[in-house]
Amino acid sequence: MTTLSLEAPLREVSAPPQMEIVYAPPAALADVPMHYCPGCSHGAIHRLIAEVVDELAIRERTLCVAPVGCAVFAYKYFNFDSCEAAHGRAPAMATGLKRVLPDRIIFTYQGDGDLASIGANEILHASLRGEPISVIFVNNAVYGMTGGQMAPTTLVGMKTTSSPLGRDPLTQGRPIHITEMLATIPGVAYAVRRSMHSAAEIRKTKKAIRLAFQAQLQGLGLSIVEVLAACPTNWRLTPIEALDFIRDRMLPEYPIGDFKVDERLREKG
Amino acid sequence: MARALWKGNEALAEAAIRAGVDAFFGYPITPQTELLEYMARRMPELGRVFLQAESEIAAINMVYGAACAGARAMTSSSSPGISLMQEGLSYIACSEAPCVVVDIMRGGPGLGNIQPSQADYFQLTRSAGHGDFHPLVLAPATLQEAVDLMYASFDLAFKYRTIVIIAGDGALGQMMEPVEMPPMRPPAPDRPDWAVFGAKGRPPRAITSLYLDAEELEQVNQRLQAKLKVIAANEQRWECHLTEDAEYLVVAFGTVARIAKSAVRAARAAGVRAGLFRPISLWPYPSEALSKLIGQMRGVLVVEMNAGQMLEDVRMAVCGRTPLRFLGRMGGVIPMPDEIAAEIVHMARTHQRGNGHGAQRLLQFKE
Amino acid sequence: MTQGAVLIRSDRCKGCGLCIQACPQQVLAFAETFNARGYRPVQLDERERFCTGCGVCAIVCPDVVFTVYRQPLRRAERR
């Protein structure tokens, strides 16, 4: 192990001369450090949303409803208006916002405990109403903020602080497939699952987030993108191992796919 | 404007509409549901938002969302539903989003029944949710007063950025009385400068009730407490009835206060100089006004449709200076005028027999 | 091969290493020292010139540390 010297200055790379910027942090993302753990996917998902908001040029009329969970500080990380819902209630709060601000773009950002456990009734009825809001549903199989408890999306046999012997389907049920469930509801225009476990998958996730916002812009009904995300800290894995965990353990239970795509949904030019 | 016969729940709904309510989110629960039904008919007619939510929990969070956008938002429910709304009310209070809530109280605890009750008094005035906050709680005794208070409620909510609760009961909600409706007020011109509705031409805003830093949250609390002091100083409301020469004071609010007026009349006919003190604001409680009357009184009788909740506020105001008695009916039973009158007369008679000043006899319930 | 480069905000890096693994040209490595938050930030290593500005690092980075540059194509190649 090389000994790390604390004195050596960090190699600052100044902007290379006469080169074109091909990628820079999106304007809709606040220029502040984020509190997420190293390797957590939340930060990257926030960035994708901000990129989509920039590309659709809707920053000035987009509102985020932040959840209770690891993303409880999401409202600090976006350069647009936001508010914070009680745990699980974001779809209801978003409904209230959308009903009085019908021409604004409202999206909720929710974790799996928030959306599929305490908030299952809210997301169900927002979908039944076809509420024209977008839902970014981050599935990392545990309750992150509170230290890694079992969530409705915890895999069978998966150890968490509240399923220490591994989730037992006989007493703790099986992982919920809420996005597939919601896809059966007429009011839902777009319901897909994506993942963050590789650059290629992240690109697809961004495209799905863009289509979700597009569905809202076209007023087609509720759009939801479930995003499989890494939680290195609570999975007790390194960030790299966490991506493997998604690929090897989560994908078999939670296959990536499109469960509902309204045929009227078109990719804006 | 001519007076017309209105049903309580519908009068409250129309008054809210005339006050300019933008959005109503509710859920069916007796004895309040006609308010929701009325809104279901009228709000769409006016191009305003009406939505029956999937639960009271969802309803209050929809109100929270609409309120964050600066809209005049309200919900209405009854005791069990108000219990479900408590978390939402706490979030709303912390983020100072203004809104109006109607509670048409019913028999409890538990599923209870649909008869009138006043047993939500503590819930509304002491703990409408976790944390230190108090909604402004107004308790009408007549339908006209209910309409007038509702008509003023949104201005109060926005003036103080607070929750205003109109506390009625099953009797008020269901009965009919002649009412003069106030004129239709135009919708609010522009959005308040604290609201979130899209960061166009200004920095983004966030409305949250999350403050992980203890000092910061204490400052938020200090700001809330300072606001409550201002509300307490300015929004105390009460009515004194025949108290100028009274020696025995009945203290009651809402439906029970109306009944107590008959009892006061009956007691006076029986030679007992009785009067009534009727709080209209349950929070802030009109303690000074009540306290001023105590000096001249030989006894105070508190009458409520619960086990003795406002009783505690009265006890604080009386401060042991005169005998304090309590008559409580529960389960949705409404006390009758003769019951209350008998209690006043009994108090006067026992006083004459020298039952004395200091003895603070609490007649817990009607045997 | 287009020539690229990246600007790294070392203070924001949490040393998760996702970019190092993902970089197709393997031009990124942990620095020898710590940033103010106690993480070993990523930096371009001696293979720096092989960077093509593909932006994969920026795609996988959870903390928006990268700004990616590319040498503009000479006018002839642009047509």
C70 touches chain A (CB under 8 A): yes
> By mean pLDDT, which of A7-16, B8-17, B151-160, C66-75 is the weakest?
A7-16
* Residue A21 reports pLDDT greater than 80: yes
What pLDDT is recorded for position A3?
47
Contacts A29 to C, Cβ<8 Å? 64
Chains C and A touch (3+ CB pairs under 8 A): yes
| Chain-chain contact of C5 with A13 (C-beta, under 8 angstroms) | yes
Contacts B87 to A, Cβ<8 Å? 86
Split at pLDDT 50, 70, 90, the class of C72 is confident
Choose the closest CB to A81 out of B71, B87, B204: B204
Looking at chain A, the whole-number percentage of residues with pLDDT higher than 90 is: 91
A110: β partners: A137
pLDDT tens digits along A47-106: 999 999 999 999 999 999 999 999 999 999 999 999 999 999 999 999 999 999 999 999
B88 touches chain A (CB under 8 A): yes
Provide the mean pLDDT of chain A: 94
The four Cα atoms B144, B149, B151, B155 give a dihedral, to 10 degrees, of 170
Choose the closest CB to A81 out of B22, B205, B210: B205
What distance in Å separates the CA atoms of residue B32 and residue B264, rounded to the nearest whole number? 30
In this prediction, does ipTM exceed 0.85? yes
pLDDT tens digits along A116-155: 999 999 999 999 999 999 999 999 999 999 999 999 999 9
Choose the closest CB to A25 out of C17, C32, C64: C64
A78 touches chain B (CB under 8 A): yes
C52 touches chain A (CB under 8 A): no
Determine the distance in angstroms separating the CA of C44 from the nearest CA of chain A, rounded to an integer: 8
| Chain-chain contact of C17 with A11 (C-beta, under 8 angstroms) | no
- Count of beta carbons in the 10 Å neighbourhood of residue A35: 15
Provide the mean pLDDT of chain C: 91
Residue with tokens 């208070």, as numbered in its chain:
B149
Q: What is the mean pLDDT of residues A159-176?
A: 97
Could you report the average pLDDT of every consecutive run of 10 residues in chain B (367 residues)?
A: 93 98 98 98 97 98 98 98 98 98 97 97 97 98 98 98 98 98 88 95 96 95 98 98 98 98 98 98 98 97 98 97 96 96 95 54 47
Enter the tokens of residue A35: 């509190």
The 3-state secondary structure of A163-197 reads: ECCCCCHHHHCCCCCHHHHHHCCCCEEEEEEEECC
What pLDDT is recorded for position A39?
97
What pLDDT is recorded for position C76?
53
Choose the closest CB to C67 out of A23, A36, A37: A23
| Chain-chain contact of C62 with A15 (C-beta, under 8 angstroms) | no
Determine the distance in angstroms separating the CA of C27 from the nearest CA of chain A, rounded to an integer: 14
What pLDDT is recorded for position B189?
77
A136: β partners: A109, A225
What pLDDT is recorded for position A103?
97
B197 touches chain A (CB under 8 A): yes
Q: Which of C20, C15, C19 is nearest to C38 (CA)?
A: C15
Query: Which residues contact residue B232 at a Cβ distance below 8 angstroms, ignoring those fewer than 6 apart?
Result: B284
* Mutant choice from B196, B211, B212, B213 vs A, greatest count of A C-beta within 10 A: B196
Choose the closest CB to A100 out of B49, B206, B207: B49
Contacts B95 to A, Cβ<8 Å? 83-84
Helix (H, G, I), strand (E, B) or coil at A33: coil
Looking at chain A, the whole-number percentage of residues with pLDDT higher than 70 is: 93
* Mutant choice from A59, A101, A106 vs B, greatest count of B C-beta within 10 A: A101
- Count of beta carbons in the 10 Å neighbourhood of residue B227: 16
B131 touches chain A (CB under 8 A): no
Split at pLDDT 50, 70, 90, the class of A4 is very low
A258 touches chain B (CB under 8 A): no
What pLDDT is recorded for position C2?
84
| Chain-chain contact of A18 with C40 (C-beta, under 8 angstroms) | no
* Residue A5 reports pLDDT greater than 70: no
| Cis, peptide link before residue B284, omega less than 30° from 0 | yes
| Chain-chain contact of A19 with C72 (C-beta, under 8 angstroms) | yes
Query: Which residues contact residue B367 at a Cβ distance below 8 angstroms, ignoring those fewer than 6 apart?
Result: none
Angstrom distances, CA of residue A134 to CA of A72, A78, A141, A208, A258: 18, 16, 21, 11, 15
What pLDDT is recorded for position B139?
98
What is the distance, to the nearest Å, from the Cα of residue A264 to the centroid of all Cα atoms in its chain? 24
Determine the distance in angstroms separating the CA of A96 from the nearest CA of chain B, rounded to an integer: 4
Q: Which of B336, B366, B334, B335 is nearest to B106 (CA)?
A: B334
A76 touches chain B (CB under 8 A): yes
* Residue A14 reports pLDDT greater than 80: no
| Chain-chain contact of A38 with C70 (C-beta, under 8 angstroms) | no
* Residue A205 reports pLDDT greater than 50: yes
Split at pLDDT 50, 70, 90, the class of A13 is low
* Mutant choice from A65, A82, A100 vs B, greatest count of B C-beta within 10 A: A100
pTM (2 decimals)? Answer: 0.94
Determine the distance in angstroms separating the CA of A194 from the nearest CA of chain C, rounded to an integer: 14
B242 touches chain A (CB under 8 A): no
What pLDDT is recorded for position B366?
46
H-type helices in chain C, by residue range?
18-22, 56-60, 75-78
What pLDDT is recorded for position B187?
76
* Mutant choice from C2, C7, C8, C16 vs A, greatest count of A C-beta within 10 A: C16
The four Cα atoms B335, B336, B337, B343 give a dihedral, to 10 degrees, of -60
Determine the distance in angstroms separating the CA of A104 from the nearest CA of chain C, rounded to an integer: 27
Determine the distance in angstroms separating the CA of B202 from the nearest CA of chain A, rounded to an integer: 9
Contacts A232 to C, Cβ<8 Å? 16
- Count of beta carbons in the 10 Å neighbourhood of residue A34: 23
Choose the closest CB to B62 out of A76, A81, A96: A96
B87 touches chain A (CB under 8 A): yes
Choose the closest CB to A121 out of B54, B71, B87: B54
Q: What is the mean pLDDT of residues A153-169?
A: 97
| Chain-chain contact of A79 with B204 (C-beta, under 8 angstroms) | yes
